Amino acid sequence: MVEHPQLPPSDPVARILAAIRAVPAGQVAGYGHIARRAGLPGRARLVARVLREHHAPSLPWHRIVRSDGAIAIPRTSPGFDEQVRRLQREGVVVINGRVRMPAVDSPDTLDAALWGPASRR
């Protein structure tokens, strides 16, 4: 078959999964962030659908939170506590269902700043 090695998968879902797996332990990323990193700007909801569907154990789903730092699933859901536990085990500070997001001072410095150490502010 005519495969193009070193070329990103054309399947949007595959790229989203790759982007999620790329989030290092101890850090969190927003849905829009993942979408943009997957080359799909504006498709945060697609990321959400992928996460709900692909609850594979190898997938660090717990590192994906809303852009305001809040856990995206309802508190009453069993997954909520699970996510909080996993995050805290990685050293992420979770307060009242919300994590400390890496505060970006300027909107221009997006990815580089966000992929940096999360133990800051």
Nearer to DNA, 3 or 68 (CB): 68
Task: Find the part of the chain contacting DNA (CB under 7 A) among 2-10, 31-39, 86-94, 113-121.
Answer: 31-39
Q: CA dist 13 to 3, 48, 85, 96, 111, Å?
A: 18, 11, 27, 31, 20
Q: Which residue has the tokens 């009453």?
A: 76
Report the residue from 47, 87, 94, 114 that binds DNA according to the rule CB under 7 A: 47
**Between residue 81 and residue 100, which ones bind DNA under the rule CB under 7 A?**
83, 98
Report the residue from 44, 84, 104, 113 that binds DNA according to the rule CB under 7 A: 44
Name which of 6, 17, 19, 8 is nearest 114 in CA terms.
19
109 is an interface residue for DNA by CB under 7 A: no
Report the residue from 48, 84, 104, 113 that binds DNA according to the rule CB under 7 A: 48
Query: What is the number of H-type helices and E-type strands within the chain?
Result: 5, 4
